[in-house]
């Protein structure tokens, strides 16, 4: 785990692929802001709230989360000045008053494409446990 992350997985040759789960209190900044932050990390232009609302959904924690996929030049941010060409980002954003959850996978486009079934299997397996 790292700051704000519950778990981080690295995969592929030289661990070029990364998938993580993060949870934040509150709405985590909101859906529109997070989608556009991820798009910005890939060098893509922001999209409108209407376009965000039209994005597909996939299951996460027993409910539907917004599914984001973007191809481009990945700049991870958080102090990194490196840019990685021909990358893909896929992710799920679940933002509600109860909290926010993010699952994001990045890596070379071909590596991410080859692991999309594993991403879907992982994200659909996550559920909320109350004891």
For residue 120, with 0-12 CB atoms within 10 Å meaning exposed, 13-18 middle and 19 or more buried, which class applies? middle
Least confident of 31-35, 54-58, 77-81, 119-123: 77-81
Q: What is the pLDDT of residue 79?
A: 66
Q: Which residue reads 């992350």 in tokens?
A: 5
- In the predicted structure, residue 92 carries a pLDDT above the cut 70: yes
| Residues 8-31: tens digit of each pLDDT | 999 999 999 999 999 887 666 789
What is the tens place of the pLDDT at every residue in 33-69? 999 999 999 999 999 999 999 999 999 988 899 999 9
């Amino acid at each position: 785990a790292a700051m704000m992350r519950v778990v981080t997985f690295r995969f592929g040759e030289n661990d070029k692929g990364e998938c993580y789960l993060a949870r934040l209190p509150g709405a985590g900044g909101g859906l529109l802001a997070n989608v556009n932050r991820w798009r910005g990390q890939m060098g893509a232009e922001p999209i409108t709230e209407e376009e965000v609302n039209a994005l597909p959904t996939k299951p996460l924690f027993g409910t539907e989360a917004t599914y984001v996929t973007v191809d481009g030049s990945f700049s991870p941010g958080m102090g990194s000045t490196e840019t990685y060409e021909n990358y893909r980002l896929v992710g799920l954003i679940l933002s509600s008053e109860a909290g926010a959850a993010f699952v994001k996978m990045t890596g070379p486009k071909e590596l991410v494409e080859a692991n999309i079934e594993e991403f879907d299997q992982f994200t659909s397996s996550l559920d909320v446990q109350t004891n």
